[in-house]
Structure 1
Amino acid sequence: MKLNLKYLKGFIGYKLFDGKALPPSSISFNLTSKCNLKCEMCWQYRDGGIFKKESPLLLEGEMEFQDLKKVVDDISGSLKNITLWGGEPMLHPDFAQFTGYIKEKEKYLNIITNGSLLKRFAKSLVEMKVNNIVVSIDGPQEIHDEIRGVKGSYQRTIEGIETIKDFKYNYSENLPRIEINFTISDLNFDRVADTVKILQGLNINSITISHLWFADKDMYEKNEKIFKDELKTSSPYFHAFIRETSGVNLKILTSEIAKVKETRWKIPIIFLPDLDNKEIFQYYSNPGNSFRFIYCLVPWRTACVLPNGDLTPCGDRPDFIVGNLRKERFSQLWNNEKFRSYRRALKGHKLFPMCKRCCELFLQ
């Protein structure tokens, strides 16, 4: 596997240390579990998602600005990149204040959003020179709204992108970059090329076409066994990733992807992961096959702060907690025994069974 240079620090820790890691250069904040959409493929809010029913993660109070600031200050020396996500991060009451503080500290800031509140924050996002915003658009208007579960969400997202474009022009700014993420599902697999064509008309920097993250029951059960046997815990929230993919017509999907690849577009197109036709069939029919993506460096290079201050080695594992940042400093938790045990277990298996369709794996 060819390694992206920004993952080098994680790779060094992975190879040389017994579960320990060098100080992280990046961190992500899941600012809030609240969301104003109900996306069909989302492991948090879709039918069967972890927040579909009452969840302890929803009941615990969110960190306020002073708490968030302390985390950044504690690791500011090594920290270069910060990602804000959720839920919908712009629903956090201190979103604008925290965003401003991150940019005052001269950190690279990436925001992952459904785009519905972009118009409200457009002026400040441009003024603060936020580096990058990833916006989800999953089809033409009627398809996008169906997937998002809220009518009018497509139009609000487009208006937000256009408003940012206007402020960038008025202020002679190039930032923030706008990346569109299109996630393939059984509702839009036949509209990939159409969507790319529509998006070419927007003032954006790139389009990522992401294959669906999913798992089957066998992967879930194998994952549970590893967690119970080696980490003395369980990972019940991973049930939210179990889903049926037979609704994706793979012949049509491969044809759609071929159309996109055969056309010269003015906006760069990225496939996550980039698979040939044979691999696409394997991807959806054999979720246990990780192809050439054979290990994960995430817990050696970053960590995720959950809304209530809990720290987890992986943002998509909100049920494995190494400590709470309201009670302890980040520097006390980064290489504590629980974090190290997670790294050792992951390295021993190269990948946990439920990791084999994770987008972070493919970004390496």
Structure 2
Amino acid sequence: MGLFQQVVLRSIRRQLSSLGSEKRPFIAGHKLLYTCNLRCKMCPFWRRQDEKLLSLEEEKLMLKALADFGVSFMGFEGGEPLLRRDIKDILAASHSLFHTSLVTNGWFLKERARDIKDYLDYLFVSIDGIGELHDRLRGIPGSFKKAVEGIKEATKYLPVSISSTITRENMHQAEEIVELGRSLGVSVSFQVAYDYSTADKMSPDAQRLRGVLERLLEMKKQGYPIVESKEYFMSVINSWYHNDPWECKPWLTINIDPQGRVVTPCYVLNEYSGTQRVWETDLRKLWASIDWDSYRSCNKCALSCYLEPSLFSWRNPSMVRERIIDNVISYIRSRGSPAPQ
């Protein structure tokens, strides 16, 4: 049995055994650094000054603590994670414990994909527009070309998705981004821009956004390669336009800042500000001390890392098939054929 299947089955067993008991995360996200080579309008993180980053040994301590807490899925982001010289070693340590993914802007991917391919189960490459629009949103000319070149290289070795943030300046290109993904043989994951206090205000106009979300929902139903579930789009539409909120379960996801500190209660409400270092904290006690019920009806963001786990139900056959069975089959197929050399 492969690593991914083991991770999924472990997650299933833990979820079923914990129904009605203590709240625990099974997804973790970790910003390896804030530093980035791009200057995205909607992002507050590259504007932050990095403190002393965690050493490889500290990263390993953090990963072990998360594994002991029951986390099954580990996602790395930044900043730009490929700026870390020890990224290969960090990913290797994670891959031995978790289903591991990484988000990159793609600038260094063409040169680095082969180095990291054995330690990733999934890769996300950020693209927020076609050609010049992407470059303008990302602040550096040539970003689109670099991202596309990186995707073409990475797909030789890994399952890849485009990660796209819907903003007021690019929402008219959402369908084109899906078509780009299809032409490159990858899927597309969308999130809606959130207006952080230290970034440009880029959240979309509400009424125009509704049309975009409805169109993406229809494309999903038609079989276009969109990562988010039908339930994701329906929940955002119902919440923001019909006053029918989805129930957020932020305890299912734990986020860790570049200094190894736990971000509570979630990614956006305190704008990614951490407090206690993971491996120096009783995570079970910390999680039990938070009044999670007060966040159930928040609905301020549409981040899939919170919304999708919150919507998931083992009792919904279509969701189990789409997010567990189909993903396992896709993973087995992707590993069944040798990667081109």
Report the TM-score, using the length of structure 2 for normalisation: 0.72
Is 1:293 the counterpart of 2:275 in the alignment? no
Match of 1:171 in 2: none
SS at match of 1:34: coil
Q: Please, which of 190, 201, 210 is the counterpart of residue 209 of structure 1?
A: 190
Structure 1 stretch displaced more, 153-162 or 237-246 = 237-246
Match of 1:186 in 2: 168
Q: Please, which of 301, 314, 324 is the counterpart of residue 277 of structure 2?
A: 324
Q: Distance in 2 between matches of 1:32 and 1:109?
A: 17
* Aligned residues between the structures: 297
Identity score, percent: 19
SS at match of 1:190: helix
TM superposition shift of 1:84: 0.7
SS at match of 1:249: helix
TM superposition shift of 1:158: 1.0
Cα RMSD (Å): 3.6
Structure 2: gaps (5+ residues):
1-7, 310-341
Change beyond 3 A, Cα 1:137–1:11: farther
Change beyond 3 A, Cα 1:259–1:80: closer
Q: Please, which of 274, 279, 293 is the counterpart of residue 347 of structure 1?
A: 293
Match of 2:304 in 1: 359
TM superposition shift of 1:264: 5.3
TM superposition shift of 1:118: 1.2
Q: Please, which of 244, 249, 268 is the counterpart of residue 208 of structure 2?
A: 249
Could you report, residue by residue, the CA deviation over 1:321-353 in whole angstroms, capped at 9, with x for unpaired residues? 44124xxx25x331345x443x21x31342447
Could you report, residue by residue, the CA deviation over 1:33-58 in whole angstroms, capped at 9, with x for unpaired residues? 1111122222435xxxxx3xxx5xx2
Change beyond 3 A, Cα 1:274–1:258: closer
Query: What amino acid is the match of 1:295?
Result: C
Match of 1:16 in 2: 21
The runs of 4+ residues in structure 1 deviating greater than 6 Å are 10-14
SS at match of 2:164: strand
Change beyond 3 A, Cα 1:11–1:146: farther
Larger radius of gyration: 1
Structure 1: gaps (5+ residues):
46-50, 169-175, 216-236
Change beyond 3 A, Cα 1:259–1:303: closer
Change beyond 3 A, Cα 1:271–1:38: farther
Match of 1:196 in 2: 178
Query: What amino acid is the match of 1:28?
Result: G
1:1-364 maps to which residues of 2 (within 5 A)?
A: 15-17=20-22, 21-22=23-24, 24-45=25-46, 51=47, 55=48, 58-77=49-68, 78-103=70-95, 105-126=96-117, 128-166=118-156, 168=157, 176-204=158-186, 206-210=187-191, 212-214=192-194, 245-246=204-205, 249-250=208-209, 253=212, 257=216, 260=219, 265=224, 267-268=225-226, 270=228, 273-275=232-234, 279=237, 283=240, 289=243, 291-296=244-249, 298-299=250-251, 301-313=252-264, 314-316=266-268, 317=270, 320-325=273-278, 329=279, 332-336=281-285, 339-341=287-289, 343-344=290-291, 346-352=292-298, 355-364=300-309
Could you report, residue by residue, the CA deviation over 1:178-224 in whole angstroms, capped at 9, with x for unpaired residues? 011222212222222222222211132x22233x2436xxxxxxxxx
TM superposition shift of 1:25: 3.7
Change beyond 3 A, Cα 1:322–1:333: farther
